[in-house]
Structure 1
Amino acid sequence: MATQFAPLTPAKLRDELLTHPLMLSIGSLGLSTFMSRSIFGVIDWRPVLICVASDILAIGMDHYFDQAPMLSYAFKTSNSEMVAIFRQAKMLLYSNAALLLLALSLSPPLTWAMVTVFFGPAFVWDFKLFVFGGTQKKTVEKKAPKNAFTIKRIPGMKAILIGVIRGCGTFAIVNSILARSFSAAPAGPSIWNPTQIIVWSTINRACHAVMADVRDFDEDWEKQVPTIPVLLKSVLRTKLLLTAVHLFTALLYSYNPYIVFASLYATVLVWALDEKSPRGLYRLSFHSQTLTAALYGAVEMVKWYTSYQAM
């Protein structure tokens, strides 16, 4: 039985189309900056802008198309506030597309390839790539055929793909630009190395993606979206799995206090949040790496200031 359409409030719509993409892009800002500084010892605006703009575009497009019924509703009801929000969202997408092209135009060809390989799937995340079994008759509600193939519906792969895109993809972009001019030698303590950062980032991003699926468990269960919580048939089992992964990461890199801190922080949020928690609180989980990068930056600044004072 088809679910009845329930329009969002303007505040909720603004959060979906504007606030959420911008808030999550801060994570890309922090991670790309952190990778640049900790691995290559410099901060270049090009990989940072590419990662941030790609993030806003991927998330923004996904949410924009998801809210297509709301756009029709806004026009039908002549809701000027909602129409204005959609226009602002469209401007956000256009402006970031322009910024992405600007940064890419000043980057080597390898960067274009890395964006295509790692970020390309994110841009077609919920697009119907293949439809099997012919077309269906039009109904009052436009529903995707059950046998339509989308990247989002690969069983259990959503979180893994997000982890690879955000972890490996961010490094690939940074490396494609900076490796030609700078050696991958950390400017700070030797506790950081490229492999470690890639593995940690991939695991961290994948775990947060699972947490986002915990948040959407009820809706995904109803629609039978094959996320990890749905496949495990339990939020509790998912929390136990995430706890094991975070503790494994902390043990694997026990010599790095920053990774241990991030893993323990993420573990606390695993048990503090559930499918009933407000959406905004899940941003605390997403920004575990952002917080860690900020902590690392603060420590490095204190060290620099101390050494400067001692001169």
Structure 2
Amino acid sequence: MAEIDSCELPDGDVSVLSLPRLKDELIGHPLMTSMGSLALSTFISKSVYGAIDWRPVLICVSSDVLTIGLDHYYDQTPMLHRAKSMSDDAALSVFSHARLLLLANAAVLIVTLLRSPWITSAITAVFIIPALLWNQTLFYWKSGTASNPTLNARAPLSSSGSAFVIKRIPGMKAVFIGIIRGCGTFAVVHSLLSSSYPARPHGGWMIWTPTQVLVWSTINRTCHAVMADIRDFTEDWSMQIPTIPVLLKSVTHTKFLLTIVHFLTLLIFYRNVFIVLGSVYATILVWALDEKSDRKLYRLSFHSQTLVAIIYWIAHMYPSA
């Protein structure tokens, strides 16, 4: 199986991933993405509140692994069935490791929430539940449709005609991701640190305010989600999944839109050198990557805030440099 890149099963509906790609989808990608939340949660904690607490960091990281890992695991359910039917031990081992990863992070999340105020648990639920239901059919527009066995709960909205799936709301996928990942991370950190550590922005060029972090994080995560849609443009176009690039019918038009958003962000927060650097970096990646680029290169886009956090830490450690 390791030498297979992509093929179709006899029924023509299931795409088969290579073993390395399967490992990346189920284990590598959730872990790499969670590192972004690790960087962002610690960055918000230190830059705004002047302290680092282990609880918001673990909540954000474990929530990331759970939501992204489960979404990818469900996406690969046909692969799991295929591996079982063919007794593919290598693939089954990957799924087993993925389940262990999910269970471990679920345990970490539960224990951490038990050590946190109830408001933190409520906030986490508000943001994590939509993410867990992200690609599931929640209800059907027409009565009696739910009994139709031919409908795929994870199919695009256009293919079922009446299934309501959060991810398939036209043009809103990236916005929802930005709100969940940007606002959610800030809200969790704020709920745990604001009462004990009032916002203490540094003076001069090091200044960070809650508003800056909240708005910038949400915009940044939204723009990266659009970048991910650019990455998947060919597949999404063939399935007519209503992402922003598909609705605009052009990767180039989408790039211009992202450039405008990053430029406006730069203008609004021009006094914050870190946001300026992050916006310039993100804009460069907008034009450097397209739907033909290696998927792993898009992690550079997701970790634009990680880069800003690293630069901030260096500047904070050596303020006179």
Under a length normalisation based on structure 1, what TM-score does the superposition of the two structures give?
A: 0.94
Counterpart in the other structure of 1:183 = 198
Matched, 1:234 2:277: no
1:276 partner amino acid: K
- Is the Cα contact below 8 Å between 1:216 and 1:275 reproduced in 2? yes
1:173-252 counterparts in 2 under 5 A? 173-187=188-202, 191-252=207-268
Counterpart in the other structure of 1:256 = 272
Mark the CA change 1:154 to 1:183 in structure 2 (over 3 Å): closer, same or farther: same
Shift of 1:6: 2.9
What SS class does the counterpart of residue 47 from structure 1 fall into?
A: helix
1:1-311 counterparts in 2 under 5 A? 3-133=12-142, 134-135=145-146, 137-138=148-149, 144=155, 145-187=160-202, 191-303=207-319
What SS class does the counterpart of residue 170 from structure 1 fall into?
A: helix
CA RMSD, 1 decimal:
1.8
**Aligned partners of 1:223, 1:117: CA distance in 2, in Å?**
30
Mark the CA change 1:38 to 1:146 in structure 2 (over 3 Å): closer, same or farther: same
- Is the Cα contact below 8 Å between 1:37 and 1:186 reproduced in 2? no
- Is the Cα contact below 8 Å between 1:54 and 1:119 reproduced in 2? yes
How many residue pairs align between the two structures? 304
- Is the Cα contact below 8 Å between 2:39 and 2:306 reproduced in 1? yes
Which deviates more, 14-23 or 154-163? 154-163
Residue deviations 1:95-146, cap 9 Å, x none?
Answer: 0000001110010011011111122211110011012331465459887433
Shift of 1:186: 2.2
Mark the CA change 1:142 to 1:300 in structure 2 (over 3 Å): closer, same or farther: closer
Identify unmatched segments of 5+ residues in structure 1: none
- Is the Cα contact below 8 Å between 2:137 and 2:154 reproduced in 1? no
2:108 partner amino acid: L
**Aligned partners of 2:113, 2:40: CA distance in 1, in Å?**
19
Residue deviations 1:167-215, cap 9 Å, x none?
Answer: 1111110011111211111256552111011111100000000000000
- Is the Cα contact below 8 Å between 2:245 and 2:254 reproduced in 1? yes
**Aligned partners of 2:243, 2:47: CA distance in 1, in Å?**
33
- Is the Cα contact below 8 Å between 1:16 and 1:63 reproduced in 2? yes
**Aligned partners of 1:40, 1:270: CA distance in 2, in Å?**
32
What SS class does the counterpart of residue 276 from structure 1 fall into?
A: coil
What SS class does the counterpart of residue 130 from structure 1 fall into?
A: strand
Which deviates more, 84-93 or 160-169? 160-169
Which deviates more, 234-243 or 147-156? 147-156
Shift of 1:153: 0.7
- Is the Cα contact below 8 Å between 2:202 and 2:208 reproduced in 1? no
1:9 partner amino acid: S
**Aligned partners of 2:54, 2:299: CA distance in 1, in Å?**
24
1:175 partner amino acid: H
Mark the CA change 1:3 to 1:45 in structure 2 (over 3 Å): closer, same or farther: same
Structure with the bigger RCO (C-alpha within 8 Å, sep 6+) is 1
Under a length normalisation based on structure 2, what TM-score does the superposition of the two structures give?
A: 0.91
What SS class does the counterpart of residue 7 from structure 1 fall into?
A: strand
* Percent of matched pairs sharing the same residue: 56
Shift of 1:298: 1.1
Residue deviations 1:252-306, cap 9 Å, x none?
Answer: 1111111111000000000000001110000000000001001100111123xx6
**Aligned partners of 1:93, 1:277: CA distance in 2, in Å?**
29
- Is the Cα contact below 8 Å between 1:37 and 1:187 reproduced in 2? no
